[in-house]
Structures are given as C-alpha cells and as structure tokens.
Structure 1
Amino acid sequence: MITALICCMILLLFVIFWQYRKIRTRSRQLNHIHDKLTNILSEQSSEKLLLFTEDAELKLLLSDINEVLETRQKDAAKGIKTEFSIRRMLSNISHDLKTPLTVVLGYIETMLLDPKMPDEDRTVLLSKVQAKANEVSGLIQHFFDLAKLESGDQNLSLTRVCINEVCRKNILTFYDILQNKGFEVDIQIPEEPIYAHANEGALDRILHNLISNAIRYGAEGQFLGITLRKDEQFLYIDVWDKGQGIPEVYQDQVFERLYTLEDSRNKSFQGSGLGLTITKRLIQSMGGEVTLISTPFVRTVFTVRLREMVY
C-alpha cells in the first residue's frame, strides 16, 4: 500500500515537473516571439518569425502573425509606390501646366510691350494664346475626369451596346487623318453583331484614346489595326500598330497617372499622360480590363476585354 502511494506521488511529481517545464518552455518561446516581433516592427524589416517548436498552438499563432506581417509589408510597399507615383504626378502636373502658361505669359508680354503691333500680328499671337489656354483647360478637365472616376462619383449607366457599330464609328472618325498620314489600316470586325453590357459614351472615349495613341506613337510603323473578336465568355477589342512600341520595362507603368515615355516630352509626342489612366478606369467601371503586349516595330497591341452580353 505504502509502495503504491509512493509510486503515485512520484508519478504526480513527474507530471507537475513536466507541466512546469512545458510552461517555462512556452513562456521562453512567447518572450522570443514578442522580442522578435518588436524588433521587426521597430526596424520596419521584411523578416518573418521563425521558431522551432512542436507546439501546435504556437505553430498556428506563428502562421497567423506571419500572414499579418506579410500583409503589412505588402501595404507598406504599396504605400511607398503610391507616394513615389504621387510625387512624380505632381512633378509632371507642374511641368504640363507651367509650360503652356509660360508661353501664354510670353505672348501677352510681347503684346503689352508693343502697343503699336500690327493687327495681323496681334491676331496671330491671340490665336496662339487661345490654343495654349485650351490646352491647359483640356489638361485640367482630364484631371477632373480622373478624380471623379477614382472617387466613384461618376457612375456609368450600362446598357446593351453593339460593339461592332462602336468600333466602326470610331475608326471612321480617324479616316481622314489616317489617309493623310499614309497609314495602312487592317480592320477585322465581324458581320455578326456582338453585344456588351457597357456605356457607349465610355467606349467611344476608350477607343478614341487607344486609336489616337496608336497614330501618335506608332506613326513610324505607318500601320493601324483594330480587331473585334470573342470567345465563350468575353469579347475583345484589339487596337494595334507597328510603331516604336513600349519597352517591356515600362509596360506596367503606362496606365499610371501622368506616366509618359521620354519621347512624349517632345512636341511631336506631347500628351497629358492621363489618357491611358482614364481609359483603364473607364474599362474597370464596366467590369472589364485592358492589357498591353508590345514588341517594338513588330506589334504593339492594347486589348480591351469585356463580358459579352448574350440573350
């Protein structure tokens, strides 16, 4: 009896000692997690928490913490990218507004300093002032349109739209320009009507932006193509050219606010840098997406994808 009691006491003491060691081990591990996490947060590092343990609950805790850290690090990287984008945008806004305004002020100063200027010369300068003022007004309107799209204030009313007719109408608008510039044109629009749940005004603006960009930046290729196609779920509008294209390193940036290639700062390639950003936001507002694939002087294609409406 006494032997059995002693064995029970020894077993009990062993269990207590085992639980005590387990608690101490967990306490050390939790302190390690706390110290390591504090260090990661204070140094803003991209480390993850590592701990060799067989404790299932601690493993689950570590997994959750690392998931939160990864999300936080992605948000931080996104914030840095956004801040850089905003700084570049402000720099470009300053450039794009300052340049025409400087020209306007120069023309006005010229007229003020020469009160006896012939009426013909004054009329020419005033027409140039008007053109530059319209340029500034157009740029400000682009900023306003983009702000409305990104804030969600501009709700597009979607209806059943025949995409074939929208494509034909928009390519015809550029007929004279294409002919005067000597472009070869490849139009592939099927006779069978293809419909989408979309906004016709938004589609007109999207195609106008894409076609005018293809003419402006693809001028060296002397070629413009527009293709309408579909699969079982979606319809696709390809607008493509054989011009200078967009190097792969820049292709992810062309839809950013005020992004322009260096050549666009030349007079022959001047633009607001907002056209493709507005294009992307309009497409997204209709539940679609736009992609770019470019091989310089071979094929640069912007593809608009929308869900087909069948009934």
Structure 2
Amino acid sequence: MILALSVLITFLLVMNIIQYVSRKKINNHLHEISEKLAEIIEHKTAEKVLLQTDQHSIQFLLIQINRLLAYNQKVFADYASTKDSLRKMISNMSHDLKTPLTVILGYVEKLKLDDTLSEDEKEKAILRLHEKVVGLISLLNQFFDLVKIESDDYMIPLSKISLNEICRKNVLDYCDLLLSKGLQVEIDIPDRNFYILGNEHALNRILSNLISNSIRYGSDGGVFGLTLREDKGSIAVEIWDKGKGIAEVHQDRVFDRLYTLDDARNPQFQGSGLGLSISKRLTEAMNGSIHLRSKPFEKTAFICIFKQMIY
C-alpha cells in the first residue's frame, strides 16, 4: 500500500514537471512568434514565421498564421496592382478625353472668332467638329459599357448559336473596308455548323472589335484572315494578320483597360484601348477565353475559344 502510494505520488510529480516544462516551452514559442510577427508588421516584409517545435498546438498555430500572412500579402499585392492600374487608367482616360476636347474647343473658337471664314470652310469645320463629338461620345459609351460589364451582377442571356453565320456576317460588314485597304482576305469557315452557348450581340461586338483592330494595326502586312475551327472539344475563332504585331513586352497587357501601344496615340490611329478589354470580358461572360499570339510580320492572331455544343 505504501509502495503504491509512493509510485502514485512520484507519477504525479513527474506529470507536473512535464506539464511545467511543456507550458514553459509553449510560452517561449509564443513569445518568439509574437516577436517575429511584430518584426514582419514593422518592416512590411513577405516573410513567414518559421519555428522548430514538437508541440502540435504550436505547429497548427504556425500553419494558420502563415496562411493568414500569405493571404494578407496577396491582398496587399492586389491592392497595389489595382491602384497602379487605376492610376494608369485615369491618366490614359484623361489623355483620350483631353485630345478631342482640345480639338473641339479649337474649332468652336475658330467658328466664333474668325469672321473671314467662307461658307465652305465653315461647313468643313462643322463636319470635323461633329466627327470629334461623335468620337468622344463613342469613347464615353465604351467606358461606361466596360464598367457595366465588369460589375459583379452583369449577366447576358445565352442560347444555342451557330458561330459560322456570326463570322460570315461580320466579315461581310467589313468587306468594303478590307477591299479599300487593298488587303488580301483569307477566310476559312467550314460548311458544317459549329454551335456554342453564346449571345449574338456579344459575339458581334467581340468580332467587330477584333476585326477593326486587325485592320487598324495589321494592314501593313497586306493580309487579313479569319479562321473558324474545332479545337479539342472547343470551337476557336482566330482573327489574324501579318502586320507589325505586338511586342512581347506588351502582350500581357493588351487586354488591360485603356492600355494602348505608344503608336496607337498617334493622330492616324483612333484606338481607345477599351475594345480588347470589352472583348475579353464579353468572351468570359460566355464561359470562353481569348488569347494573343504575335510574331511581327509573320502572324499576329487573337483567338477566342468557346466550348462546343453537340446535339
């Protein structure tokens, strides 16, 4: 009996010692974690809290803390990216609004102050003024369209649509412009209908944006092409040309809002930098994707890929 009691007392003492040592280890670990977190917060680094321990509770805590730190770093990076994108967007938007407004003001002042203008000169100035106002309204409409498309609650009605007819219609719409540019036109649209779950209005706008973009920037290659094909259970629409293309440094950003290449801001170009952004959002709204492949003066292609419907 005395031996059993002695063993029990010894066991309890050992357990108390173990618990004391364990609590001390935990407290030490918590102190180290606290200091490391304070350092990370103070210096705003992307470090993680690393600590060797055999305490399961501390291990679990470290995992959750590092997950939180990783999430916080992503939020910060996204915020910085959004802020930079917004700054550039406002800068580009200001440029695209200021230029036509300056021209409009110039024509208005000329009409108002110059009494020596002939009727023919006045008519030409009014026509030019009208063109600039229409262009400005178009730019504003595109901007508001993009804001609407990017809203969380934006949805478009989808139905079974033949891409073949949509492609033919859009090429015909640009036929006169293609011929006036002296471009060789290469169209490959199969007779067999390819169906997708899409929206006719959205598809027309996507193709119109891509075709006009190809004509505007790719005419120096002398060729315009549109190809419709099956692609591993999907349907691909490829609009291509052999023009100067898009340098690799720009390719990741061409779908950004209001992002244009430097020469797109020359007077001979009329790009707003919104067409490709709108095309991307509309394609994604139909559960599709859009891609760019470009090798200057070899082939520059925008490819829209949609899931094929087979009935």
Which residue of 1 is the match for residue 192 of structure 2? Answer: 192
CA deviations over 1:47-88 (Å, ceiling 9, x no partner): 111011122232222112212211211111111111011111
Query: 1:268: how far off?
Result: 2.5
Q: How does 1:1-311 map to 2 (within 5 A)?
A: 2=2, 5-152=5-152, 154-311=154-311
Identity %: 45
Per the alignment, do residues 50 and 152 of structure 1 end up closer, same or farther by CA in structure 2, a change over 3 Å counting? closer
State how far apart, in whole Å, the 1-side matches of 2:270 and 2:36 are.
Answer: 52
Aligned residue identity for 1:117? L
TM-score, L = length of structure 1: 0.95
Q: Per-residue CA shift, 1:155-200, capped at 9, x if unaligned?
A: 3121111100111111111212222222122211111101111111
Distance of 2:283 and 2:303 partners within structure 1: 11
* The 10-residue stretch of structure 1 (37-46 or 281-290) with the greater mean CA deviation from structure 2: 37-46
Between 246-255 and 78-87, report the one with greater CA deviation.
Answer: 246-255
CA deviation string 1:240-296 (max 9, x = no partner): 111111122211111111000111111223311100000011111111111111112
Partner Cα separation in structure 1 for residue 117 and residue 181 of structure 2: 37
12 and 152 in structure 1: CA distance in 2 versus 1, 3 angstrom threshold: closer
Query: How many Å separate the matches in 1 of 2:126 and 2:5?
Result: 111
Per-residue deviation, residues 94-134 of structure 1 (Å, max 9, x unmatched): 11111111111111111221234211111111111111111
Distance 2:100 2:293 in 1: 33
Superposed CA RMSD in Å reads 1.6
**Equivalences, count:** 311
Q: How many Å separate the matches in 2 of 1:153 and 1:145?
A: 14
Compare 224-233 and 45-54 and name the one that shifted more. Answer: 224-233
Give the unaligned 5+ runs of structure 2. none
Q: How far 1:5 moved relative to its partner?
A: 4.3
Q: What amino acid maps onto 2:145 in structure 1?
A: D
Out of 133-142 and 227-236, give the one that drifted further. Answer: 227-236
Give, as a single letter, the amino acid of the residue that structure 1 aligns with 2:20: Y
Q: In structure 2, give the amino acid aligned to 1:175.
A: C
What SS does the corresponding residue of 2:304 show, helix, strand or coil?
A: strand
Q: 1:139 Cα deviation (Å)? A: 0.5
1:8-62 deviations in whole A, cap 9, x for unaligned?
4333322211210111101111122122223323432111110111222322221
Q: Distance in 1 between matches of 2:184 and 2:67?
A: 54
**Which letter maps to 2:202?**
A
Matched residue type, 2:222: Q
Deviates more, 1:96-105 or 1:106-115: 106-115
DSSP-derived class of the 2:309 partner: coil
Distance 1:185 1:112 in 2: 47
Partner Cα distance (1:53, 1:153) in 2: 48
